[in-house]
Amino acid sequence: MKDDREAQANDRPFHDEARQLVRERYSKVAESNGSCCTSSACCQPGPITGISEKLGYSKQDISGVPEGADMGLGCGNPHAIAGLKPGETVIDLGCGGGFDCFLASGQVGEKGRVIGVDMTPEMIS
């Protein structure tokens, strides 16, 4: 057990640095209102709408959220498999600009709740 704690303590500077780099990268995206523009499979440069459509979001989904919510940062479409019902509670960890939160709110309705959490303040401000 002591070895595990020592290993975690030794890794802390690396994890703190990685966390800070992620925050900085996503802050830049939020401030520029663009996509992440990397070469990862889920986040390629190009029109943001095209990224969302490739993930299975409909044009109605995309046009039904406030401007700026769809930042093209997602790597999946949870609504395609979630089967949300009115009155349910949804928690979106790493919500970014809230794209999935806005879509979920329409599915859970006024009696439901949607909670978006993101570690980058610029994403949710």
- pLDDT tens per residue across span 23-59: 787 677 777 755 444 444 444 445 565 788 888 889 9
CA neighbor of 54 nearest in space, from 87, 83, 80: 80
Domain that holds residue 84: 2-124
Q: How confident is the model at residue 109 (pLDDT cuts 50, 70, 90)?
A: very high
Q: Helices in 33-120 by DSSP H: which ranges? A: 48-54, 59-63, 79-82, 99-108
C-alpha dist (Å) from residue 29 to 37, 60, 124: 9, 24, 12
Its pTM stands at 0.68
Number of domains, the chain? 1
User: The tokens of 54 are what?
Assistant: 């490739």
pLDDT of residue 116: 94
